[in-house]
Amino acid sequence: MAFVNFVYRSLFRRTSTFTLTIVVGALVFERAFDQGADAVFDHLNQGVRTQE
């Protein structure tokens, strides 16, 4: 319960920090999702030659 109170007091109490938390979280999620999708794509297409 103390962790929840700490997170609330440090991140979600003020509107500006709440907004910043959402924006940073979205950017981190987007970056991680993009890299994960690229890794899956590369793994599935390993050994396949592309025509150029």
Q: What is the pLDDT of residues 30-50, one digit of tens each?
A: 999 999 999 999 999 988 887
Q: Answer yes or no: are the C-beta atoms of 13 and 5 closer than 8 Å.
A: no
**Domain presence at residue 30:** yes
**Domain presence at residue 47:** no
**Domain presence at residue 27:** yes
**Domain presence at residue 2:** no
**Domain presence at residue 23:** yes
Residue at 22: amino acid letter: I
Q: How much is the average pLDDT of 4-27?
A: 91
**Domain presence at residue 46:** no
**Domain presence at residue 24:** yes
Segments forming the whole domain that contains residue 34? 16-40
Query: To which residue do tokens 């994960």 refer?
Result: 36
pTM of this prediction?
0.68
CA distances to 40, 42, 44, 50, 51 from 47, rounded to whole Å, are: 14, 9, 9, 10, 13
**Domain presence at residue 29:** yes
Separation CA 10–CA 51 (nearest Å): 53
How many structural domains are present in the chain?
Answer: 1
